[in-house]
Amino acid sequence: VAGDEFAMWAYSGVGPERVDFYLLKRFEHAWDAKVRARLAGLKPLAQNRDGAAVRHATSLLAERASRQRLLIIITDGRPDDYAYGPDVAGRDLAMALSSAKAMGVHPVAVLLSPKGRKPHQAYKQVPHIIIRELDGLARWLPRLYRMLTN
């Protein structure tokens, strides 16, 4: 990835007491076969509290001494969780995205929507693209990264 340091995380959860945040790649680790295998092995687990994951990723990025701190969020664009419907989830996500920007982290959303469903309104406050086919992700991510870092 252009020689830039990057980390990769994934998240899932069930309710406010259990938001799981998974480390796929640390900043200092190489982009190697082990990391690619972890990424390839991802599968949907439970629900997604996007706001909680954005807040945690923001805190990790805010610690980095970098010229630019990007948070690229790859999501279905529909934050929701048990006992946390889309309205509450959307307000929580909007606050988390605003907080990230205030802390010098630049969130960008890649919204996977194979059925053409509209993403939650909260994602409209950050730069975003909508990808209708999963194989489009591999084509769009390098382009997106170049646009954001040039």
From first to last of its 150 residues, the chain has per-residue pLDDT tens of 467 889 999 988 887 777 888 999 999 999 899 998 988 888 878 878 889 999 999 999 999 988 889 999 988 888 877 777 778 888 999 999 999 999 999 999 998 887 777 888 899 899 988 888 777 777 888 888 888 887
Residue with tokens 């796929």: 24
Rounded Cα–Cα distance for residues 144 and 140 (Å): 6
Q: Which pTM does this prediction carry?
A: 0.87
**Residue 141 host element (H or E):** helix 135-149
The tokens describing 70, both together, are 């990007």
